[in-house]
Amino acid sequence: GGSKQSPIDIKRTGCPLDPRLSKMQAAYADIKISELSNNGHSWKAQVGSGRSSLRGGPLGDDEYVLEQFHPHWGKTNERGSEHTIDGACYPAELHLVHWNKSKFSSFAEAAATEGGLAVLGMFLAVGQEHPEMSKICSLLPFISHKGQAITVTDTVHPETFLPKNGSYYTYSGSLTTPPCYESVTWIVFEQPIQVSEAQLDAFRRLKSYHPC
């Protein structure tokens, strides 16, 4: 690992408020998932078509587009999120992975270069069922084992995963799974979004091994 590895424990007291940082501007339209897959440690929704634009805040005027999104979770609600706040965990964490379209021509090119990627991180807390997450959860039984994947025809609305309160923490770090490229501007939202216990259970039913 290098010097800028993620995830980190975010210490509220050590985070200065930067008045120069603007609100994040995220827009998504007609997003379709080309493939929903089980890679053995998470499900991943690969974006196939649609329009997306992420800019503002630490990203400035560069435009970043959505490549894929995936969650991280634990066996119980006590521990699951990758990032922690003052040492406290959430049951799960959702990552929306974007790449810099203003400077690069592909995700692979952007991923290998500092500042090439931007990841929105949302903590997931137990509460109301999340309607958009239900679309994904209903498909998870079809990718119950590692290596399984399906195509998805429904349009998804990633903007529903963003919390209403736009306050965020930001730092320069890396992807949290290999290859751990140190090319990521992390934007971790302070306010969690709610998912139901049943939705988290659907995540946990995924198996980390290939079908027999």
Question: Residue 176 corresponds to which tokens in the numbers above?
Answer: 């949290």
pLDDT band of 154, cuts 50, 70, 90: confident
8 Å CB contact between 45 and 36: yes
Handedness of CA 40, 46, 52, 53 (dihedral sign): positive
The class that CATH gives domain 9-204 is: alpha beta
pLDDT of 207 higher than 70: yes
Alpha-carbon gap, residue 67 to 46, rounded angstroms? 6
Check residue 38 and give its pLDDT: 97
Q: What is the mean pLDDT of the chain?
A: 90
Which residues are identified as catalytic? Answer: 41
Task: Provide the whole-model pTM.
Answer: 0.92
Check residue 175 and give its pLDDT: 65
Query: Hey, how many other C-beta atoms are within 10 angstroms of the C-beta on 208?
Result: 11
